[in-house]
Structure 1
Amino acid sequence: MVITLLALLAGPGMRAVPAPAAVPFASDDPMPGLPATIDQAPLLPDTLRVGMYLTQLDGIDLHNASFNAQLYLWTLWPGDEAENPSDDLTVLNSIFNADLDRFERLSRERIGSRIWSLYTVHGRFVHRWRLDSYPFDSHLLNLQVGYANPLRRSPALEVDTANSGVSPTLYLYGWQLGESGISLNRLQTLSNLGDPRLEVGSPGRAEAVTSTLEISRRASLYLVPDFLGYMLAIGLCVLALVIHRTRDDLILAAVVSAAGNYVFLAGILPVDAMAGFIGQLQLVILVGILYVIGADEIIDHQMEGWPRRWRSLLQSAVLPSYLLLTMSAIYALIPRGVVSG
């Protein structure tokens, strides 16, 4: 019953690394058979257009607040090659790892009056996982790209919304992928970083292009393996109300089962996850065990002078009332529609 109910409700950044050898500009017709340019949205002078296309996502690490991602990043620059700021871009929320990080330029071509640069990016990115609703949690993953210098304000950045997105083949086991998007944000540094041209205490401001992807945990895949002890505790309480001669042993087993499940979850999840849904569920299970002990004890010993018919009626009501109260409390605890960024 419990399974059915829950299942139904269920560092420094990486910088762009130029290609080992200089890539010569192609002619106005870079590829035979292709037009030199295709009409696109106007690009203002001194503006760098940035787009991202996410191709891979894995390595979810709850304890170290990170995940792995691979994507293509491209820029479109309307000015001269000498002033092209594309190689000054960096992933702002990456964790430096020399064995994992990759920010490599794949191509650079002049197409008409614009310079198009294409990069491949692979690395480990920071995300503060909020697990108070585990295993019903949803998260908004962010990949932020901007200038390596946090005080740099020009050239201005612009978002290529038309071509950015997520690969339809991207798959993350145990998670459901939701809406994706890309936007231009302004980041603030609460310091002038010692720049003598800025007033003391004045914040630094910079632009960043942020690609987002919502992911939601498939709760049904985690309920049985991660919450089996709690389900067993409820089942043992039911048996304790049915089989009176072994009631004490069954209740003791229910307590051990619930406590063991809590210890198991504490070992695989960060400590902040234990204060949310899991902690509340633990409390519901323990209160339910106390209800079983108290109700049975009162009816058997404290109401001995009552008519047998009344006692039998009350005793028969303990089991359905226990199940109704426990299932209702669990249902009320299940979070709905919560997405953490």
Structure 2
Amino acid sequence: MSAIKIPVYRPSLRGNEKKYVNECLDTTWISSRGRFVGEFESQFARTIGIEHAASVCNGTVAIHLALLALGIGEGDEVIVPTLTYIASANAIAYTGATPVFVDSCRDSWQIDPEDVRRHITPRTRAIMPVHLYGQACDMDALMAIAREHRLFVVEDCAEAFGTLYKGRHVGTFGDISTFSFFGNKTITTGEGGMVVTNDKTLATRARHYKGQGLADHREYWHDVVGYNYRMTNIAAAIGLAQLENAADVISRKRRLAERYRQALAGLPVALHAEQPDTVHSYWMVSILVETPEHRDPLRAHLSQDGIETRPLFFPVHTMPMYAKSYRRHPVAEDLAWRGINLPSWPDMSDEDVQTVAASIRRYFSK
């Protein structure tokens, strides 16, 4: 393996991140109190157009907190796509509920509403759409199913900050939604997440649980088993600075996807396509090769050229802890075995893109 010359991701830190972090250090407000926590929450809510936002320490606990706020627990089922990052399923399992896996749509790679409908049982309490790699799910169809069966909708927007569905930000359709700000996300706090909702009761419940279940009316009195899921002021300071440049970052990522599309034209690969009535934020620019036999050799070839890539997520239903009632999800499996995430950081140069494309071209010309 050659030394990495083009990493799969690198955050863009060209704004007020250092200034705001230094303010935290200078004022000694470095933990979960300080001005940046509230400002980041309120500015994030305004940016996506939602009433309430509660910051947390990472995206996985954001999902857990959202499920806790809804009262999801033992004996419940939550429908989730099998083609997702493991955190979506694990957070369901943390509550004692059962993740029920469904297949993907071939054109969008997102959760298949018709397969959702097929998997609803009397124990189903919620549907968890995951806006995978920055492309929006079919929220009209999913919300209609949820209304018909009186189910909650928990949107996992970990990879989809800036993604739009029919002109609205994802995360504003469900009962409650979550975002991740890990170091490789479109906006980052290093580690961090957000729970958002238009429901004041759910917002209050989420804040209560994330702060160790501390009661409002009595100092150091705890009335539920809570969690220490709070975001630090330092992380929020970075997040606020990131929000200030978010529109530019998303614009650059979308331009990056278009440059890849042009550079890869004529090669036997298919770029993850933006669907009608959506704006794809292209957290990761991803391709499919024609057959699974090409995927790993192509990644090895790129690695030899110093280009880092990732495979698409393994379908969660194939992993040992979730395979007890194994069944096939053929579209998700096919996408997973053929998919590659290409280097996708917003500051990539045209030269970097051409280097990646040239390496792929050399592979297929052998």
Q: Smaller-chain TM-score range? A: under 0.3
TM normalised by structure 1 equals: 0.19
* Structure having the larger proportion of residues in helix: 2
Greater share of residues in strand: 1
Kindly name which structure, 1 or 2, has the bigger radius of gyration based on alpha carbons: 1
Report the TM-score, using the length of structure 2 for normalisation: 0.18
Which protein, 1 or 2, shows the higher relative CO under an 8 Å CA cutoff with sep ≥ 6?
2
